Amino acid sequence: MDHPFVVIGIVVVFIIGFITWLLSRLRRCPSDRILVVYGRVGKADEGMAARCMHGGAAFVWPVIQDYSYLDLAPMAIEINLQGALSQQNIRVNVPSVFTVGISTDPGIMENAAERLLGLARPHIQDLAKDIIFGQMRVVIATMPIEEINSDRDKLVTKFANGVEVELKKIGLRLINVNIQDITDDSGYIDALGKEAAARAINEAKVAVSQQERDGDVGKAEADREKRIKVAAAHALAVKGENEALVSIANSNASRREREAEAQRLATAAEKVKSADALREAYAAEETAERQRALREEAALVAEVLIAADIDKRKIELAAEAEAERIRRVKRGEADGIRLILEAQAEGAKAILSRKAEGLRDLVAAAQGSPSAAAQLMITEQLPVLVAEQVKAISSLKIDKITVWDSGAGANGKNSTANFLSGMAGVLPPLHELTRNVGIDLPSFLGTVHAPPPEDGAEQATTKLESSASSVIASAYHRRFAAAQAWAKENANTLFTFDRNKDGVIDDSDLGEAVGLALAWVEKIKDPAMKWYLAKGKAVEGPLDWAAVEAATADTPRRLLCLANDRSWMPVGLLRAARDG
């Protein structure tokens, strides 16, 4: 029965001991110290040597961690700087007291933990003293001795700025700088003091003399002011009496003037009120007339607009119905054409299949010889070829031929024979007909001799016609390219060609505009043609082309319309198509 209680007691004792051990490893940081925990304080790749804390508490693991404290108590360091060179190379003595302490700023505390932990205060003071000595000499070397002696605040600020930066590198901060005295071995500063004292004595003597002079002058001025003021008082008395009389006269005149002014204002006010009443009446009548005109105008506009809107809607519905009817009719026609073409394709396929079987039988009958099979097919088609050859002159309408024959000719033929052979010569040779379709007739059907070459005049004429055609085609293509380039660059001016009203000028719209411009180029040459120009919401015209050129010399994007045509295009596009 006692075993469970023993186990529970052991567990309780273990828990209490564990908690006590945990509390023993908890280290608190007082306000005048910095707690430094070192050892394994972070990940290996973080590079942390110690964790610093000012205030609060931290848990210190045994074996892998340990802790120590850095004292924040200020340290007064006496700096007896002797013989420091100033900017004029005069050696000065600047005995001072610097008060420093360990900084509590993040980052600087870590510097103190890395460089000052474990060092005694004298050692820290010596380290700071060396840094301060060096920075003081640097600052003294940049200042003239007059400024060092007279502007102590600037000297202290420079000391603080230079020393503070260097002290932060070892974890310290500057608390105070106290410069006790500034002397020099050459007596320059003493001479400056004597000069200042002599200047002060002389200035004091001058001030005493000036005060005595000011006293005598003041007494004389006081007597003068007394006599002046007495005379002025008598003059003021006489003046006052005269001014009183003048004031009485002015008062009487002012009274009469105000009475006249009051009478004038009363009369003017009556007339102004009458004029205001008439003006208000006229304004009310004018406002009433304007409202009536606006009401009549609104009624008229509403009547016209509603009727126009109804007509527009009727036209749109009729156009949509007609478009739908045309779409359905065309769709039915397309379906019928598709069925017809499918049936024709099936029939053609059957004919070609049968023809292929016949060709296979023909090759088999020729015992596998392709040339023999070709001869058989040519022999079969000779009547058709001859009939096609004869069709060349079958359309000639010859009612009667009269031949005057005088006998045998030079080549042994008479005139009738020559005429008939010439008629046969106009027929296209059978060999050329077959060669045009890719068939060479066998040699037993005869050969065709090459015609004699053309003479030089005919060749020159052929070349000239070919060159002229090339020049015309090149000019047309050049004008087409120029118009197309202008249209692409100024596509936003071709909104009148946006047939599908999608706000985008596509290639089909550009092509329509360029084609119309090339067609209108020919109209420019006709002086009888009239043109219209868009001018805001109005239209200017009819004009001839010279007037159009003059009106649009600086406005190539202005819209132009040909008489009896509803299309509008920019003038620049038409010029590009013309000038190419």
**DSSP H helical segments within 366-403, as ranges?**
370-390
Q: Are residues 168 and 78 in the same domain?
A: yes
Q: Outline where 142-187 has alpha helix (H).
A: 145-150, 152-168
Query: Between 161 and 62, where is the model more confident?
Result: 161
Contact between residue 42 and residue 51 where contact means Cβ atoms under 8 Å apart: yes
pLDDT of residue 390: 56
Q: Which amino acid is at 10?
A: I
Q: Specify the amino acid at residue 513.
A: A
**492 and 428 inside one domain:** no
Helical (H) or strand (E) element with 81 = strand 75-85
One domain for residues 476 and 554:
yes
Domain C-terminal end among 186, 209, 239: 186
**Residue 109 covered by a domain:** yes
Residue 557 makes CB contacts below 8 A (sequence gap 6+) with 490, 493, 570, 571, 572
% of the chain beyond a pLDDT of 90: 1
424 and 529: one domain?
Answer: no
Residue 567 is encoded by which pair of tokens? 């299309």
For residue 48, is it within any domain? no
- Give the pLDDT confidence score for residue 377 in this predicted structure: 66
Give tens-digit pLDDT for 429-481: 555 555 554 555 555 555 555 544 444 444 444 444 444 445 555 777 788 88
Flag the least confident range among 35-44, 483-492, 552-561.
35-44
Q: What angle do CA 183, 93, 182 make, to 5 degrees?
A: 40
* Nearest Cα residue to 539 out of 528, 550, 551, 527: 551
Residue 191 lies in a domain: no
Residues 376 and 441 in one domain: yes
Same domain, 441 and 478: no
Find the helix or strand (DSSP H, E) in which 210 lies.
helix 188-365
pLDDT reported for residue 414 = 54
Share the mean pLDDT of the chain. Answer: 76
Report the greatest alpha carbon distance in the chain. Answer: 172
Share of the chain above pLDDT 70, in %: 72
Residues 78 and 181 grouped into a single domain: yes
User: 230 lies in a domain?
Assistant: no
Q: Which of 117, 151, 186 is the last residue of a domain?
A: 186
Q: Is residue 225 part of a domain?
A: no
Q: pTM for the full model?
A: 0.34
CA 6 to chain centre: 84
Q: How many CB atoms lie within 10 A of CB 157?
A: 13
Same structural domain for residues 437 and 474? no
Of the CA atoms within 13 Å of residue 56, those in its CB half-sphere come to 9
Range of the domain at 518: 468-579
State the amino acid at position 276 in one-letter form: D
Average pLDDT over residues 273-292: 84
Work out the angle at residue 545's Cα, subtended by the Cα atoms of residues 543 and 547, and round it to the nearest 5 degrees.
Answer: 60
pLDDT of residue 466: 47
- Rounded average pLDDT over 473-490: 83
Cα 137 to Cα 398: distance, rounded to the nearest angstrom: 134
Q: Is residue 94 part of a domain?
A: yes
Of 552, 546, 549, 553, residue with least CA distance to 526: 546
User: At 159, which CATH number?
Assistant: 3.30.479.30
Residue 205: inside a domain, yes or no? no
Q: In Å, how far from its chain's centre is CA 574?
A: 33
**Cα angle 457, 459, 463; round to 5:** 115
Q: Which of 168, 35, 28 is nearest to 101 (CA)?
A: 168
Distance CA 113, CA 102 (A): 10
Distances (CA, A) of 69 to 22, 48, 72, 124, 474: 20, 18, 9, 15, 98
Same domain, 495 and 539: yes
91 and 171 within one domain: yes
Spatial distance between the Cα atoms of 521 and 508, rounded to a whole number of angstroms: 20
> Strand pairing partners for 571?
none
Say whether both 477 and 539 belong to one domain: yes
CA distance 578 to 480: 9
**Whether residues 157 and 80 fall in one domain:** yes
DSSP assignment of 533-577 equals: EEETTEEEEEE-HHHHHHHTSS-TTSEEEETT---EEEHHHHHHH
Residue pLDDT, tens place only, 181-226: 888 877 777 666 666 666 767 777 777 777 777 877 887 888 888 8
Number of domains in the chain: 3
Model pLDDT, residue 460: 43
DSSP code, position 561: E
Which of 127, 153, 186 marks a domain boundary?
Answer: 186
Residue-level pLDDT at 391? 56
> How many Å apart are CA 442 and CA 382, to the nearest integer?
12
Q: 168 pLDDT exceeds 80?
A: yes
Residue 566, in any domain of the structure: yes
Distance CA 578, CA 569 (A): 14
Instruction: For residue 213, give Cα distances in angstroms to 202, 206, 207, 218, 226.
Output: 17, 11, 10, 8, 20
Q: At what angle do helices 370-390 and 188-365 cross, to 10 degrees?
A: 90
